[in-house]
């Protein structure tokens, strides 16, 4: 390793405990210190560059050091960095709320802020439960979520999710959530369409709601793509059916668009593809264009009204975070949101997505690729030990890690989830950079599956 990189690594490993990491891995897996970022590129202290094909954990939309977002934050910095949002307000949070209400599914008119995706999920769950309680429906205190779903790592969010790897250890600490079979189309029968499979799977949700609606406050789903759950995807028809059922059974629908929001699936919000409005919409990750931690739960006037009362009735939503509605983060979010319109981003992304899909689909014939799937700007490649039976590789073999290592050596940051290699690049990626990203993934997959 280059000397200046090495000294940062040594200093880091002396004190920094990294997220989602077995720290012992870093005895042999190189930690990558990053000095600067420009567009889709990250650069280390030796001047080596890495194409950020995962948008730095799905947060970055318009590249690192984006001039327009930089300028918005710098300008805001001269005015106000932060102020308590209880009893006080500021221009960026007002303007951002107006902008979000304009672009979100119609009827989501109220914005409650927090500072990360998990907290947004916690807010949505508490808000839903509390709504029913304020209406006197105190039995409605349970939640339904989907198998293989992911909603974050704090205890409430972890309980709502279903990714074994993150959840199993903490099970004794978690609230009891009803988990229903996923509409995940990787599991569809041969010959079945996505829509057929997702419709079929809805029967499980319908049954759960029919049986348990009286004690259920809300159903929470990640619309269209279960990102942390290996980028498994399903058909929009599931969301339409779910919306109808939630209405029928008087249960809230919480859409966790923390990962898929802001254009990832091809539309600004994934819910649009089913033309539905959730009762609560959770947004974070791309909200600030990948600059600052911020999240928001958007909800309806009806939900808001259930908390609006005389103080002594004790119906208020007494939830807060110190950095709620941080002014710098709100300024970044406004600037990021403005780029969608100014640059015709969603239309341009259709061209990029088509290119990415066309290039990646060549991998479908690979002897160890079970499926190449895509929704908008997300493409995933599922590696298996046996293509015919779809028998997965044993997780202990860490095949995805081999792809990670190869891609790093070739100047591309891919970070497979288990045995699923995926692309979720910033929207400022060029067709040539897509070619590089896919080529390096192809090489990595070949290397990772050759024995
Ligand atoms: C990342 C993610 C979260 C958690 O967000 P954090 O900011 O990491 O707490 C919640 N839901 C979904 C769908 C996510 O992808």
CATH number at residue 256: 3.40.640.10
Instruction: Tell me, yes or no, whether 308 lies in a domain.
Output: yes
Sign of CA dihedral 213, 217, 222, 224: positive
Look at the block and give the residue holding tokens 């059916």.
241
Whether residues 146 and 195 fall in one domain = yes
Instruction: Tell me, yes or no, whether 38 lies in a domain.
Output: yes
Whether residues 87 and 125 fall in one domain = yes
Whether residues 136 and 157 fall in one domain = yes
CA angle (237, 242, 243) in 5-degree steps: 100
pLDDT at 146 (0 to 100): 98
Whether residues 200 and 286 fall in one domain = yes
Instruction: Tell me, yes or no, whether 371 lies in a domain.
Output: yes
Whether residues 381 and 399 fall in one domain = yes
pLDDT at 4 (0 to 100): 85
Q: Which domain holds residue 240?
A: 70-342
Instruction: Tell me, yes or no, whether 416 lies in a domain.
Output: yes
| Residue where one domain finishes, among candidates 342, 366, 391 | 342
Instruction: Tell me, yes or no, whether 16 lies in a domain.
Output: no
Instruction: Tell me, yes or no, whether 11 lies in a domain.
Output: no
Ligand 1 centroid to residue 312 C-alpha, Å? 35
Q: Which atom of ligand 1 is nearest the CA belonging to 57?
A: 1
Q: Which atom of ligand 1 is nearest the CA belonging to 259?
A: 15
Whether residue 349 contacts residue 376, with contact meaning beta carbons closer than 8 Å, is answered with yes
Q: Which helix (H) or strand (E) holds 49?
A: strand 49-52
CA–CA separation, 169 and 301 (whole Å): 39
Whether residue 406 contacts residue 448, with contact meaning beta carbons closer than 8 Å, is answered with yes
| Residue where one domain finishes, among candidates 342, 366, 388 | 342
Q: What total of structural domains would you count in the chain? A: 2
How far CA 316 is from CA of 4, 270, 302, 356, in Å, comes to 54, 30, 14, 47
Instruction: Tell me, yes or no, whether 137 lies in a domain.
Output: yes
pLDDT at 2 (0 to 100): 79
Choose the residue to mutate in 254, 258, 281, 295 for probing ligand 1, maximizing ligand atoms within 8 Å of C-beta.
Answer: 258
pLDDT at 3 (0 to 100): 81
Whether residue 257 contacts residue 270, with contact meaning beta carbons closer than 8 Å, is answered with yes
Per-residue pLDDT of the chain (451 residues; tens, 9 = 90+): 678 899 999 999 999 999 999 999 999 998 999 999 999 999 999 999 999 999 999 999 999 999 999 999 999 999 999 999 999 999 999 999 999 999 999 999 999 999 999 999 999 999 999 999 999 999 999 999 999 999 999 999 999 999 999 999 999 999 999 999 999 999 999 999 999 999 999 999 999 999 999 999 999 999 999 999 999 999 999 999 999 999 999 999 999 999 999 999 999 999 999 999 999 999 999 999 999 999 999 999 999 999 999 999 999 999 999 999 999 999 999 999 999 999 999 999 999 999 999 999 999 999 999 999 999 999 999 999 999 999 999 999 999 999 999 999 999 999 999 999 999 999 999 999 999 999 999 999 999 999 9
Whether residues 170 and 86 fall in one domain = yes
Nearest CA to ligand 1 atom 8: 117
Q: Residue 148: is it exposed, middle or buried by C-beta count within 10 angstroms (0-12/13-18/19+)?
A: buried
Whether residues 214 and 336 fall in one domain = yes
Whether residues 357 and 324 fall in one domain = no
Distance of CA 385 to the CA centre of its chain: 28
Whether residues 195 and 253 fall in one domain = yes
Q: Which helix (H) or strand (E) holds 429?
A: none
Whether residues 285 and 418 fall in one domain = no
Q: Which residues line ligand 1 (CB under 6 A)?
A: 116-118, 121, 150-152, 222, 227-228, 256, 258-259, 284
Instruction: Tell me, yes or no, whether 408 lies in a domain.
Output: yes
Q: HSE (CB half, 13 Å, CA atoms) of 409?
A: 10
Tell me the three state secondary structure of residue 280: strand
Whether residues 324 and 202 fall in one domain = yes
| Residue where one domain finishes, among candidates 342, 375, 409 | 342
CATH number at residue 372: 3.90.1150.10
Whether residues 252 and 143 fall in one domain = yes
Quick one: tokens of 237? Answer: 């028809």
């Amino acid at each position: 390793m280059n000397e200046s990189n090495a000294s940062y690594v040594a200093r880091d490993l002396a004190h920094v405990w990294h997220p989602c990491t077995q720290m012992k891995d870093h005895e042999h897996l190189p930690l990558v210190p990053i000095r600067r970022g420009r567009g889709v590129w990250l650069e280390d202290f030796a001047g080596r560059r890495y194409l950020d094909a995962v948008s730095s954990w799905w947060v970055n939309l318009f590249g690192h050091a984006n001039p327009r977002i930089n300028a918005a934050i710098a300008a805001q910095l001269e005015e106000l960095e932060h102020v308590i949002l209880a009893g006080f307000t500021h221009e960026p949070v007002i303007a951002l709320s107006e902008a979000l209400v304009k672009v979100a599914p119609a009827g989501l008119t109220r914005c409650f802020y927090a500072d990360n995706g998990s907290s947004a999920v916690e807010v949505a769950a508490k808000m839903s439960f509390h709504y029913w309680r304020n209406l006197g429906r105190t039995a409605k205190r349970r939640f339904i979520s989907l198998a293989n779903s992911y909603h974050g790592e704090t205890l409430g969010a972890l309980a709502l999710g279903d990714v074994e790897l993150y959840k199993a250890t903490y099970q004794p600490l978690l609230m009891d959530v009803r988990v229903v079979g996923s509409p995940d189309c990787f599991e569809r029968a041969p010959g079945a369409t996505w829509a057929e499979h997702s419709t079929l799977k809805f029967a499980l949700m319908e049954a759960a709601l029919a049986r348990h609606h009286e004690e259920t406050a809300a159903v929470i789903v990640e619309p269209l793509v279960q990102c942390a759950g290996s980028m498994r995807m399903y058909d929009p028809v599931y969301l339409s059916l779910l919306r109808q059922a939630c209405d029928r059974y008087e249960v809230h629908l919480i859409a966790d668009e923390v990962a898929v929001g802001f254009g990832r699936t091809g539309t600004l919000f994934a819910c649009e593809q089913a033309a539905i409005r959730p009762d609560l919409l959770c947004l974070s990750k791309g909200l600030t264009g990948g600059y600052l931690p911020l999240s928001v739960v958007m909800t309806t006037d009806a939900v808001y009204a259930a908390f609006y009362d005389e103080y002594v009735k004790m119906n208020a939503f007494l939830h807060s975070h110190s950095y709620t509605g941080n002014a710098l983060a709100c300024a970044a979010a406004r600037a990021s949101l403005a780029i969608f319109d100014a640059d015709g981003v969603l239309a341009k992304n259709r061209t990029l997505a088509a290119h990415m899909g066309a290039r990646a689909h060549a991998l479908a014939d690979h002897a160890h690729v079970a499926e190449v799937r895509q929704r908008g700007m997300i493409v995933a490649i599922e590696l298996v030990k046996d293509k015919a039976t779809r028998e997965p590789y044993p997780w202990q073999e860490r095949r995805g890690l081999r792809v990670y290592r190869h891609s790093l050596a070739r100047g591309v940051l891919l970070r497979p989830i288990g045995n699923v290699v995926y692309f979720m690049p910033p929207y400022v990626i060029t067709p040539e950079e897509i070619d590089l990203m896919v080529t390096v993934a192809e090489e990595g997959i070949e290397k990772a599956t050759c024995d």
